């Protein structure tokens, strides 16, 4: 078997092993929302090759493997990828649930959230829509994103 094919098989095997680890340990990992978020975002960055940032850029928001966390409240983490696809949206992560939510009208583009988490995200979106759109424009450049106040 040629070296490139062996390398590809190893990459696929490692990816599957990581998926299996995450799935088998999901309940333990959920005990810590921050750890769970870090594991999921790290996995997505490794697996899907999300946009990476210039190492010299400083960001006023927390980042987990180059994914800026805009806000966090009641166990819900709001983040936005750099140079992401249209329409303008953000990602909301709560336990094992994730949704992409359109900034303009709050429509869930993909994924799902439990009813209570979805209601809280909608309230937060209504209060911070202008700030989210400003961050979306910054993320397309990319420029440093600005943290947004959590829901109180």
Q: For the chain, how big is the Rg over CA atoms in Å?
A: 17
Strand partners, 102: 89
> Given this model, what pLDDT does residue 6 score?
55
Q: Give the number of C-alpha atoms closer than 13 A to the C-alpha of residue 52, restricted to the C-beta side.
A: 10
Domains of the chain, by residue range, sit at 52-140
In Å, how far are 17, 36, 47, 79 from 87, measured between CA atoms?
A: 33, 27, 23, 15
pLDDT tens-place string over residues 5-62: 555 555 555 556 555 565 555 544 444 444 455 555 555 555 444 433 333 333 444 4
Which residues contact residue 132 at a Cβ distance below 8 angstroms, ignoring those fewer than 6 apart?
A: 70, 80, 88, 90, 103, 125, 148
Model confidence over 130-139: pLDDT tens digits?
999 999 999 9
d(CA 146, CA 148): 6
CA distance linking residue 76 with residue 90, whole number of Å: 12
pTM of model > 0.85: no
- Computed over every residue of the chain, the mean pLDDT equals 75
Taking the C-alpha atoms of residue 68 and residue 30, their distance in angstroms, rounded to an integer, is: 20
Q: pLDDT value at position 66? A: 57
């Amino acid at each position: 078997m040629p070296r490139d094919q062996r390398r590809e098989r190893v990459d696929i095997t490692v990816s599957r092993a990581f998926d299996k680890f995450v799935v088998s340990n999901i309940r333990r990992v959920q005990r810590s929302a921050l750890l769970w978020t870090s594991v999921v975002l790290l996995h997505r960055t490794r697996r899907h090759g999300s946009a990476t940032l210039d190492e010299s850029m400083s960001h006023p928001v927390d980042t987990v493997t180059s994914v800026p966390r805009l806000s966090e409240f009641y166990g819900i983490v709001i983040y936005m990828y750099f140079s992401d696809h249209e329409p303008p949206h953000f990602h909301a992560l709560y336990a094992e649930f994730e949704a992409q939510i359109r900034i303009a009208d709050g429509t869930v583009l993909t994924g799902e959230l439990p009813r209570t988490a979805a209601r809280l995200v909608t309230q937060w979106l209504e209060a911070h829509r202008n700030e989210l759109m400003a961050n979306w424009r910054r993320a397309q450049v990319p420029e440093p994103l600005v943290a947004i106040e959590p829901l109180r």
